A = this chain, B = another copy of it.
Amino acid sequence: MSVPLLNDRDVEFLLYEFLDTEKLLERPRYSEHSREIFDASLRTAKTIAEKYFANHLVEGDENEPTLENGIVKMIPETKVAWDAFANAGFLAAHQDYEEGGMQMPEVIFRMVMAYVNAANIGTAAYPFVATGSANLIRAFGSVEQKAKFLTLIMDGRSNGTMCLTEPGQGSALGDITTMAAPADDGTYRVFGQKMFISCADHDIAGNVIHMVLAKIKGAPPGVKGISLFIVPKFLVNDDGSPGERNDVVVAGLNHKMGYRNTTNAALNFGEKDGAIGYLVGEANKGLGYMFQMMNEARIGVALGAAAIAYQGFNHSLDYARQRPQGRLASCKDQLSPQVMLVEHADVRRLLLAQKAYSEGSLAMCLFGSSLFENQNSAPTQELRTRNTQLLDLLTPVIKSWPSKYGCISNDMAIQILGGAGYTREYPVEQLYRDQRLNPIHEGAEAIHGLDLLGRKLSLYGGAGYQFFKEDVAQDIAKAKDFEPIKNLAGKLENAMDVLEKTTQSLQQQMGVDIDRGLANATVYLDMFGRIVGAWIWLKQGIIAAEALSSSLHESDEHFYRGKLQAANYYIEWELPAIEQYAELLQAGNSVPFEMQDEWF
């Protein structure tokens, strides 16, 4: 395989230089781990990704799952990949030793996922959704539920799903109509239809554990009346084997532009007597439980975006280095040999932008994962709380920035390949199609804008936003010590002032008229995202500048120079757009808001 999935030097950099992952070994939970164990896990993940995921990227795209007599059929390579991932223990990576898990730190697990995501996002979705479901049961399920269902997912005998969306409500969960009626035996009977359910059915594992949001009869209206249920496809026998078929069926498959090897279906619950469901935790608290897992799921989606962008970058770089094309303008000799694409300045611009987006996205997601890790395992409650509050603020950005710029990055990869990139002979067109889902699922872009501006900024009395400003200021101060990035630090400092002014202005506008004040929230999200992107690149720039101040092996010198150049690119070329946004936002520009339906 000539084009690597990620860049192993960058993986090492992100885990052990950008993040101090070795420091986690000091925490009791990870005392039995070591850097060697981490690295061995990643080598295993990479091998599995190359061998069992990348091998059917195209085949899975060309042969999407089919529904025959109610049974979903998939290409057999999917099950082989699932089994390889399960057999490596990765489905149980998060879980405790005593539960049979690996107690793997979040950032290591996400890097495992980054490899399989880069290899084949359509197949990687199965373990992604499964581990999310497992974590939900682990966090909120009863001891019995864990014994019965969690173990099934951990060893690969079942996958899991997240059943939130319904045909009639899209992003507004308060409007769901799926109902749950209590039965005499303490279980529930679930009735309703769920839509756009990823990995909803398949033939790769013996069972499917659906995590279903539904309303118990008589529950309060809106989001406060939502409960969470476990609804298995097959009822589970005491030995864990699949028993009687539950009353849940695939109503139809969705045929998508990309992510095609991921089954996506409408599910009907309770066409007969009702699907047997088990209430998780307390009634009416389901949405809260789901949201506590949402940060993890959202970072997970963004990590997929990062990995797809990374693959596009790697493929277009490989092509640009090998494809002769034309000459530079300064060359007047038409008989001289053609130069490689990479020698054209605009191709380098497209590559450098992709580097900034893809490496920046991976760094941003891992940074988010480290906050997630810390909210659970940091040594003090104060630190855990701080990390939760910062993560809650940043989650809309960490979800959205890689998803948005991942699409732009994959678009650039196609452009470098030109006509060849538009054909299915190269993977860049599939990556472009796969990527397009990411700004839609786990909350469409606009939802995250509203969440950030309307909710997260002021959550915990604004503590998360305060921590963010403190942390950025600390890195700015540090960066000022290094000549090569001093000026970048200054630019980010100015950007933070602009952000603060804009935030204050918008909060004031929202106080006057909430709809008008929130109208441009998506633009605010992009502005915030560019600043977080610049911060992530400044952080990398600091490490690179420090490393370059001493003598290095040639390959390391190249690596750090590349990081520095990408930091320069991002902060000089992409950050300044915030000035224009700030002007529109601070002025409360209402041109889109005031557009009327009948004027279109």
Residues of A that sit less than 8 Å from B by CB: 165, 168-172, 174-175, 195-196, 221-223, 254-258, 317, 321, 323-330, 334-335, 338, 342-349, 351-353, 355, 407, 411, 414-415, 418-419, 421-425, 429, 432-433, 436-437, 439-441, 444-446, 449-450, 454, 513-515, 518-522, 558-559, 561-562, 565, 568-569, 572-573, 576-577, 579-580, 583-584, 589, 591-600
Which residues from chain B contact A338 at a C-beta distance below 8 Å? Answer: 169, 172, 175
Do A351 and B255 have beta carbons less than 8 Å apart? no
Q: Are A422 and B256 CB-contacts (below 8 A) given A222-B335, A346-B446? A: yes
CA distance A552 to B223 in the complex (A): 47
Partner of A518, one of B345, B422, B522, B568: B345
Apart from A172-B338, A255-B424, A565-B595, what are 12 other A-B pairs with CB-CB below 8 Å? A170-B419, A172-B325, A221-B334, A328-B515, A345-B592, A346-B592, A351-B595, A352-B591, A411-B436, A569-B592, A569-B595, A573-B589
Most buried by B among A169, A414, A436: A436
CA distance A195 to B175 in the complex (A): 54
CA distance A134 to B267 in the complex (A): 55
Query: Would you list 5 pairs from A and B whose C-beta atoms are within 8 A, ordered by A residue?
Result: A171-B326, A171-B418, A329-B454, A329-B515, A414-B436
Within the complex, the shortest CB–CB distance from A589 to chain B, in Å, comes to 6
Which residues from chain B contact A411 at a C-beta distance below 8 Å? Answer: 407, 436
CA distance A437 to B419 in the complex (A): 8
Which residues from chain B contact A414 at a C-beta distance below 8 Å? Answer: 436, 440
CA distance A562 to B445 in the complex (A): 26
Which residues from chain B contact A355 at a C-beta distance below 8 Å? Answer: 600
Which residues from chain B contact A520 at a C-beta distance below 8 Å? Answer: 345, 349
Which residues from chain B contact A171 at a C-beta distance below 8 Å? Answer: 325-326, 418
CA distance A432 to B410 in the complex (A): 14
CA distance A3 to B437 in the complex (A): 24
CA distance A174 to B327 in the complex (A): 10
Q: Are A440 and B424 CB-contacts (below 8 A) given A325-B171, A593-B345? A: no
For A196, the closest partner residue in chain B by CB is: B419
Which residues from chain B contact A425 at a C-beta distance below 8 Å? Answer: 254-255
CA distance A275 to B589 in the complex (A): 63
Do A572 and B591 have beta carbons less than 8 Å apart? yes
Do A334 and B222 have beta carbons less than 8 Å apart? yes
| Among all A-B residue pairs, the 5 with the closest Cβ atoms | A222-B334, A562-B599, A349-B592, A345-B519, A172-B326
Which residues from chain B contact A255 at a C-beta distance below 8 Å? Answer: 423-425
Which residues from chain B contact A597 at a C-beta distance below 8 Å? Answer: 321, 342-343
Do A418 and B444 have beta carbons less than 8 Å apart? yes
For A335, the closest partner residue in chain B by CB is: B221
Within the complex, the shortest CB–CB distance from A261 to chain B, in Å, comes to 15
Do A415 and B439 have beta carbons less than 8 Å apart? yes
Do A589 and B562 have beta carbons less than 8 Å apart? no
CA distance A422 to B435 in the complex (A): 11
Which residues from chain B contact A321 at a C-beta distance below 8 Å? Answer: 597
Q: Are A223 and B334 CB-contacts (below 8 A) given A329-B450, A344-B446, A346-B522? A: yes
CA distance A441 to B584 in the complex (A): 35
Which residues from chain B contact A222 at a C-beta distance below 8 Å? Answer: 334-335
Do B440 and A415 have beta carbons less than 8 Å apart? yes
CA distance A267 to B347 in the complex (A): 28
For A428, the closest partner residue in chain B by CB is: B257
CA distance A411 to B408 in the complex (A): 11
CA distance A89 to B419 in the complex (A): 32
CA distance A203 to B223 in the complex (A): 58
Partner of A599, one of B347, B433, B522, B561: B561
Q: Are A257 and B334 CB-contacts (below 8 A) given A328-B515, A583-B576? A: no
Q: Are A174 and B334 CB-contacts (below 8 A) given A256-B424, A425-B254, A573-B591? A: yes
Which residues from chain B contact A334 at a C-beta distance below 8 Å? Answer: 174, 221-223
Which residues from chain B contact A437 at a C-beta distance below 8 Å? Answer: 422
Q: Are A445 and B515 CB-contacts (below 8 A) given A327-B172, A599-B561? A: no
Which residues from chain B contact A576 at a C-beta distance below 8 Å? Answer: 580, 583
Do B418 and A599 have beta carbons less than 8 Å apart? no
Which residues from chain B contact A439 at a C-beta distance below 8 Å? Answer: 415
CA distance A481 to B195 in the complex (A): 54
Q: Are A352 and B592 CB-contacts (below 8 A) given A335-B221, A520-B345? A: yes
Do A423 and B519 have beta carbons less than 8 Å apart? no
Within the complex, the shortest CB–CB distance from A433 to chain B, in Å, comes to 7
CA distance A202 to B330 in the complex (A): 42
Within the complex, the shortest CB–CB distance from A323 to chain B, in Å, comes to 8
Partner of A257, one of B346, B422, B583, B593: B422
Most buried by B among A450, A568, A595: A595
Within the complex, the shortest CB–CB distance from A552 to chain B, in Å, comes to 13
Which residues from chain B contact A342 at a C-beta distance below 8 Å? Answer: 597
Partner of A422, one of B324, B436, B521: B436
